[in-house]
A and B are shown apart, each in its own frame.
Chain A
Amino acid sequence: MKEPALRIALAGKPNAGKSSLFNHLTGLNQKIGNFPGVTVDKKTGYCQLSEAVSAEIIDLPGTYSLYPRTLDERVVTEVFANSKSSLFPDRVVLIADATNLKNCLLLLSQLVDLNLPTILALNMVDLAARSGQSIDVKKLSEELDLPVVMINARLGEGVEALKRELTKPLSPSRRKTFTISPEIMEPVSIIKQHFRLASDYDAYQFLQQPENLKFLSDEQKAFIRKTAGDFQFFPAKYQGAETIQRYAFIQNILNAAVIRASDSDWKKASYSIDRILTHKVFGYAIFLAVLFLIFQSIFAWATIPMDFIDSSFAQLSHYLAKTLPEGPLFDLLAHGIIPGIGGIVIFIPQIAILFAFIAILEETGYMARVVFLMDKIMRRFGLHGKSVVPLMSGMACAIPAIMATRTIDNWKERIITIFVTPFMSCSARLPVFTILVALIVPDNKVLGFFNFQGLALMGLYLLGFLAAVFSAAVMSYLIKSEEKSYLVMEMPTYKIPRWKNVGYTILEKTKAFVFEAGKVILAISIVLWVLASYGPTEEMNAGKTVVAEQTRGMNLTQEEIDNRIASYHLEHSYAGKLGKTLEPLIRPLGYDWKIGIALITSFAAREVFVGTIATIYSIGNTEDEVTIKEKLRQEVDARGTPSFGTATSLSLLVFYTFAMQCASTLAVVYRETKGWKWPLIQLLYMTTLAYFSALVIYQTLK
């Protein structure tokens, strides 16, 4: 494909239909990356506008104006204010929600002042018509001095017309929407000259918010601050005045171009739904029911594809074992890389289902109501209404959950949410929980309905949740922040979800997980595999002989001998040595060095615990849970007490509920907070909490 001729940016407020339009323009031809320096997803795609012209399309985060409130919004300001950036667009399509044109035109007026060639795409014209507004498109286009195209982003109507319009030559609108106050023209022209900027408004933006323009160097920012100081330029004073002036301009245009019939009651349906969904009783009941449905699908329905993935990877390893020659390379492939990739792929069904639900909730407009319902409760613990989504997602996997915290504007609330999300019991804890719970809790039913083991499992989830809430409360007390927390959020009207958009979201999030977190998971599982398979050469080589010596006359099958050799190797590997070094430290928790090894290897991902325990106790086949359970029950340690007695098992359960034990989460936290400070504090805090809780449990019960 040859270099696209045009770079086109899609901008607009949240819920205006940007993503739908983006999907219509690019189809599956899209790529997710990061904006330079920040972890905001950058969606780009290619679109053949006409036979001759192809274009690169950038989907920018939704924003109301160039004055950003969140990380996501800041990206938009940076893209438009920096004409030297590699992302600076040739053209901008501003998608406006025709039912609420006024708010959408604020950003448009700012783009016009930046001299950006812009096309206005009017979306949801049908809804506007139903609400009794008719928009004179020709007049609007004349008044704004730019092309206006009517589209229906959900159905893809008008997209061809928009494409045609985009191939035509386009000059910036000549309308001046905002006059910079004469008293500050002097600093504006100094900045404009110094940075060789194209428009006064660009210079004004530099002056207004240098701290939000990360492409400026420290000296450049200092220069701007000095200039602002010299002329006593106070951003807040001018910002409010600017907004009022812009709205006055917009109101004039709307008066000329929009004919408004009397306020009709097209929103009535939405209001009656709201009356139920935000009802005192039904509201919460419905929310709980939705949560339950999500849980149910993550735990029950996802296991079908997960089992399939699991067995496919096991078969692949098995197949390779038969076909490839033995050697270190083969070992790396069959026992390091393939299970590593399998460990990533296994999470895909859960992540896909979770994001399918989140996408549907977002698309219908219900998510805004969840935030509305939960804000007061969450605030009590130093969280924000928007923290509900990450915490909910944390039950599937902390990685996408932490990625979902980006919508929280307030830094403190975002950090706290990131910090406590890993306490929510994720799906990787489930295999560990199942085995240990099965060991200590009888499989009986109460009232023929409640399963004891199920209750125990629920208790563990509750424990994780309480730890999250408690830690959040403590954190909010400890972290001091001047930044205010806001909940100024649009409540969109209810809509039927577009399944295509849901599909794209699933694809996008899954990709982000596989490629972002996947890399770390793979790397760490390889490192841990090396630790667990290699040790001092002499000792390792002695394995076969020693085991042969021990088992002489025991009449074991070849498989049982192999299992013992594997166990011997693990014991004498570097991981084994580490486990033994760790023993004095974990002895008070009731763990021996064998569990110590499992603690180390499961640092890559918690579920590795089961596999390691199976190897170290020479159980071999890890497919069969019952076998593992039975074997573990019989194990006794050096002193003759059962290795997995009630005290030890409970202590382990609590340990796994609280401990970080997930390298990928740490990697994501590092990425999201841009530093090692928070992931390290988090690791320390969670491990300490886990250690002492497990200590108390074991010491009281032993």
Chain B
Amino acid sequence: MKPGETALIAGFSNEDLSIKLLEMGLLPGTAIRFNFFAPLGDPVCVSVSGYDLSLRLSEARTIGVII
């Protein structure tokens, strides 16, 4: 995904992390928007269900999306 794009969450590839992300409101089927990168290219900032979240790139990669 590129900054500014929006997509739907499809699923997660990491079980441990998925529990945390689910609790934070990243549910399959919700819209997620990629806001911007941190200056050094990692972590990233995303918007989901009305609020902003920061994730490391490696963490963001575990989220599967449908664009």
Complex contact A488–B59 (CB within 8 A): yes
Q: Which of B15, B27, B43, B45 has the most CB of A within 10 A?
A: B43
In the assembly, what is the distance between CA of A271 and CA of B17, in Å?
Answer: 27
Give every chain B residue within 8 A of A493 (Cβ-Cβ): 52
Tell me whether chain B's interface is mostly helix, strand or loop, or mixed.
mixed
B19 interface residue per 8 A CB criterion: yes
Whether A376 touches B41, Cβ cut-off 8 Å, given contacts A103-B51, A491-B54, is yes
Q: With A278-B36, A376-B38 in contact, do A247 and B43 touch (Cβ < 8 Å)?
A: no
Given contacts A64-B24, A247-B27, A488-B24, contact A274 B36 (CB under 8 A): yes
Contact A64 B38 (CB under 8 A): no
A492 vs B53: C-alpha distance in the bound complex, in angstroms? 8
Residue of B nearest to A64 (CB): B23
Selected from B19, B35, B40, B55, the residue in CB contact (under 8 A) with A377 is B40
Residues of B within 8 A of A492 (CB): 52
Q: Is the CB of A99 closer than 8 A to any CB of chain B? A: yes
Contact across chains for B24 and A103 when beta carbons are under 8 A apart: yes
Closest chain B CB from A486 CB (angstroms): 6
Asked if A478 is at the interface of the complex by the 8 Å CB criterion, the answer is no
Contact of A67 among B19, B40, B52 (CB under 8 A): B19
Whether A278 pairs with B38 at a CB distance below 8 angstroms is: yes
| Closest B residue, CB atoms, query A371 | B54
Number of B residues with CB within 8 Å of any CB on chain A: 31
- Chain A residues contacting B56 (CB-CB under 8 Å) are 375, 486-487
- The answer to whether B2 has its CB under 8 Å from any CB of chain A is no
Contact B41 A236, beta carbon cutoff 8 Å: no
Q: In angstroms, how far is the closest chain B Cβ from the Cβ of A54?
A: 35
Contact yes or no, B23 A65, CB < 8 A:
yes
**Is A622 part of the binding interface, using a Cβ–Cβ cutoff of 8 Å?**
no
> Shortest beta-carbon distance, A74 to chain B, in Å?
15
In the assembled complex, which residues on chain B have CB atoms less than 8 Å from the CB atom of A239? 19
Whether A484 and B45, one on each chain, are in contact in the complex, defined by CB atoms closer than 8 angstroms, is no
Which of A131, A278, A487, A493: most chain B CB closer than 10 A?
A: A487
Nearest-Cβ distance from residue B66 to partner chain A, whole angstroms: 18
Contact B23–A278 (Cβ < 8 Å): no
Given contacts A279-B39, A376-B40, A487-B56, contact A100 B19 (CB under 8 A): no
Let me know if B25 and A488 touch, CB within 8 A: no
Alpha-carbon distance A280/B36, docked complex (angstroms)? 12
* Pair A244/B38 contact, Cβ less than 8 Å: no
Output the residue of B19, B41, B53, B54 with the most chain A CB within 10 A.
B54
Q: Which 4 A-B pairs have the closest CB atoms?
A: A491-B52, A243-B22, A280-B39, A376-B40
Binding site for B on A (CB under 8 A): 64-65, 67, 69, 99-100, 102-103, 106, 131, 236, 239-240, 243-244, 247, 271, 274-275, 278-280, 283-284, 368, 371-373, 375-377, 385, 484, 486-493
Can you list 26 residue pairs at the A/B interface with Cβ under 8 Å? A100-B51, A102-B50, A103-B49, A106-B25, A131-B50, A236-B15, A236-B16, A240-B19, A244-B27, A279-B39, A283-B39, A372-B45, A375-B38, A375-B42, A375-B43, A376-B38, A377-B40, A486-B17, A486-B20, A487-B59, A488-B20, A488-B21, A488-B54, A491-B45, A491-B54, A492-B52
